[in-house]
Chain A
Amino acid sequence: MSLAKLVNGFLKGKIRVVDLTHTLSPEFASISLPPEMGQAWPFRIEEVSRYDERGPAWYWNNFSCGEHTGTHFDAPVHWVSGKDLPNGSVDTIPPENFIGPAFVLDCSSEAQKDADFLLTKKFIQSWEKRHSRITPRSWVLMRSDWYKRAGDPAAFQNYDETGQHTPGPDMEAVKFLVEERDILGFGTETIGTDAGQAQHLRPPYPCHYYMHGAGRYGLQCLANLDKLPPTGAVVIAAPLKIQNGSGSPLRVLALVEGK
């Protein structure tokens, strides 16, 4: 009954689909670890044939990338704190968890002023006063407008000699969202759900540590969060079903009522 209404909403143009995904391309900035460590593969693509002697009537490619490339999903097993949780890998997560309401916290002006901006519990509580209380089983998305830098990999990564400078949540904000709001997961426009300098927070990488430790998920390198309302959108974020996968590139869609 309500599904029929949903389909009708698409047909009538009453429900908009917003693509929150960057195009997978070799140019897209990929996560960089210190060079002596293991590295995630960037997205790469090799032509198999293109209507030529390698395959006369067909065009296709082989591509390669890490699980954490482009717009991607982080599963609980990605972090050591979530390693022993049941249903913690992309192939075992209950599929209903891939769809949920979205609460979009606009931190864009703060992030513009301060690339190291940290989202705090206080900021979230004040946002809730202005909009609505964050409901359980929802996606909390941190809008920073960082995605607009994606065409310039150096600006997107924003490194200096002390490492990366990108916004993210602080420890208290993450604990609040997990323990007091019971969210599904946390999404950002930057290369990590944690801030660029989060290795210096306590614990290091608090969003990865607490979110995954509590069996919650992450979405990274999201785009177009500025095209979502603060509340009311529904996010569909289903990763590839990789055996024991710690994450996966994926197509993230948001459904928004109204034109």
Chain B
Amino acid sequence: MERPKRKNPVLRTRLPTLPPAARSRIALGLTAAAAMGRFELQQCKDCGAVQYPPRETCQKCLSTKIIWQVQADGGELLARTVLHHSNDLFFRERLPWRLGLVKLDCGPTVVAHLHGSVEKKVKVRAMLDRAGQAVLAALPEKEVNVAEDRQLREFTCDPKFRKVFITDGKTSLGQELVRKMASAGADLIWVGHSEPWKKFSGFAELKNIPQVTLLPLDLTDSKNVREVAAEIGAKVDIVVNNAEHHRAFGIGNRAGVETARAEMDINYFGLLRLAQELGPVMRARGADGQSSAVAWVNVLSIYALANFPPHGTFSASKAAAHSLAQCLRAEMRPAGVRVVNVFPGPIDDEWNQLLPPPKLTPAALASAILKALREGIEDVYPGDVAQEWLARWRDNPKALERELSA
């Protein structure tokens, strides 16, 4: 991929447009799976047939017992074409556009967006498009970075040649994120840090990374957030909000509300402040050339799904942040800016000291965030603990509540 030329400031910045976004409730099943990076299609529990596009009943035996199942992604490219004309505003601006017909090994034949170097054998992936809806993309069999493909880059939020803003560089996670974004080819990385008198290991070394600019940032300070957003907002393509306040208390073992309030002030109100100040300017840059504003990453917690009583007030603050992030997602979607929510299990840090392994290393979490940006995933459950909790929560949220409070 070529480095994009500098923007011509004389020309009008293109307004964001979206590909067709309407989906039936049934069809949203494909989106729900793609949001987590899964390729799921409907499968009939009676006759086993796999079908696409999604329908209310089995097209083979008319059974209504249909479930969404992860499917093998292999297939054969039957036909390809290149679109040179479209009345759809989104595609009209991005022509020519490659499309093809793929016969999946699991049965159905599907229409897919084509990677530039596909041959006969392909892998099909369900990806979220700029409207946040699932579409199918056919990729070559060999591993490729889809973000390097001009067309499929539209479905990803790759940091390469983009400008990234990481809200807290003082934690191990923040520092791993900085290093990952730098090695992924980010052009500029702004790194927030609060309480400048507190020194933490690894932080001072960040300024030796050429792309890095350190910025005093305290998400509890509205004035500071406003000033930082004013200073860099019009340049930020990707925000990673990893600033958080975490204490290990429930209700009964911490008197008063001060600790809970401090958690809310960063985890919930901090996100709100940042979203109010940075959201509008990022929405205005949703189609600003090859390196437009593309993504907003929230580091939440698996405890946002169900309260973990030993960290009860932290869980509540993350549940509040999760709810707000859904609002942010709705408000950013018209601009094609993806809100990526990350739900890690316990991170291996001082606030989870007393929790037994497995704990997620900051490096693994940073890698999962980078992978999500590159592959166009918007709900990330990194690591074994998060995956297990997610499975238990999806199966029976009430059972999980009881298990966590045991």
**Interface residues in B82-116 (C-beta closer than 8 Å to A):** none
Chain B residue with the shortest CB-CB distance to A155: B197
Q: Does A244 contact B (CB under 8 A)?
A: no
Verify A36–B199 contact, CB threshold 8 A: no
**Interface residues in A46-85 (C-beta closer than 8 Å to B):** 46-47
A26 and B216 alpha carbons, distance in the complex (Å): 12
Q: Does A29 contact B (CB under 8 A)?
A: yes
Q: Which of these binds chain A: B38-46, B72-80, B132-140, B220-228?
A: B220-228
Q: Does B256 contact A (CB under 8 A)?
A: yes
The smallest C-beta distance from A192 to any residue of chain B, in angstroms, reads 14
A159 and B182 alpha carbons, distance in the complex (Å): 30
Q: Does B195 contact A (CB under 8 A)?
A: yes
A9 and B56 alpha carbons, distance in the complex (Å): 91
Verify A39–B198 contact, CB threshold 8 A: no
A39 and B222 alpha carbons, distance in the complex (Å): 19
Q: Which of B195, B218, B220, B224 has the most CB of A within 10 A?
A: B195
A45 and B220 alpha carbons, distance in the complex (Å): 10
| Known interface pairs A45-B223, A46-B222; A39-B258 also in contact (CB < 8 Å) | yes
A residues near B196, Cβ cutoff 8 Å:
153-154
A residues near B218, Cβ cutoff 8 Å:
26
Verify A44–B221 contact, CB threshold 8 A: yes
Verify A29–B221 contact, CB threshold 8 A: no
The main secondary structure of chain B at its interface with chain A is loop
**Interface residues in A208-250 (C-beta closer than 8 Å to B):** none
**Interface residues in B213-253 (C-beta closer than 8 Å to A):** 218, 220-224, 247
Verify A44–B197 contact, CB threshold 8 A: no
Chain A residue with the shortest CB-CB distance to B269: A46
- Per-residue CB contact flags for chain A residues 191-206 toward chain B (1 = under 8 Å, else 0) read 0000000000000000
Q: Does A156 contact B (CB under 8 A)?
A: yes
In the complex, the number of residue pairs spanning A and B with C-beta atoms less than 8 Å apart equals 37
The smallest C-beta distance from A76 to any residue of chain B, in angstroms, reads 22
Verify A26–B221 contact, CB threshold 8 A: yes
| Interface size of A as a range | 20 to 34
- Per-residue CB contact flags for chain B residues 169-196 toward chain A (1 = under 8 Å, else 0) read 0000000000000000000000000011
Verify B259–A38 contact, CB threshold 8 A: yes
Verify B256–A44 contact, CB threshold 8 A: no
Verify A39–B197 contact, CB threshold 8 A: no
| Known interface pairs A32-B198, A156-B197; A26-B223 also in contact (CB < 8 Å) | yes
Q: Does B49 contact A (CB under 8 A)?
A: no
A29 and B218 alpha carbons, distance in the complex (Å): 12
Q: Does A157 contact B (CB under 8 A)?
A: yes
| Known interface pairs A38-B256, A38-B258, A39-B258; A44-B198 also in contact (CB < 8 Å) | no
Q: Does B281 contact A (CB under 8 A)?
A: no
Cβ-defined partner of A26 (8 Å) among B198, B224, B258: B224
Chain A residue with the shortest CB-CB distance to B223: A26
Q: Does B262 contact A (CB under 8 A)?
A: yes
B residues near A154, Cβ cutoff 8 Å:
196-197
The smallest C-beta distance from A228 to any residue of chain B, in angstroms, reads 27
- Per-residue CB contact flags for chain A residues 144-159 toward chain B (1 = under 8 Å, else 0) read 0000000001101111
Verify A29–B262 contact, CB threshold 8 A: no
| Known interface pairs A29-B197, A154-B197; A44-B262 also in contact (CB < 8 Å) | no
Verify B220–A44 contact, CB threshold 8 A: yes
A residues near B223, Cβ cutoff 8 Å:
26, 45
Verify A159–B222 contact, CB threshold 8 A: no
A residues near B262, Cβ cutoff 8 Å:
39
Seen from chain A, the residues whose Cβ lies within 8 Å of a Cβ on chain B are 26-27, 29, 32, 36, 38-39, 42, 44-47, 153-154, 156-161
Q: A32-B198, A45-B222 are in contact. List 5 more A-B contacts (CB 8 A).
A: A26-B221, A38-B256, A45-B223, A46-B222, A158-B197
The 4 closest A-B pairs by CB, nearest first: A157-B197, A26-B221, A154-B197, A154-B196
| 14 examples of A-B residue contacts, CB within 8 angstroms | A26-B223, A27-B224, A39-B258, A42-B220, A42-B221, A44-B222, A45-B223, A153-B197, A154-B196, A156-B197, A158-B197, A159-B197, A159-B199, A161-B199
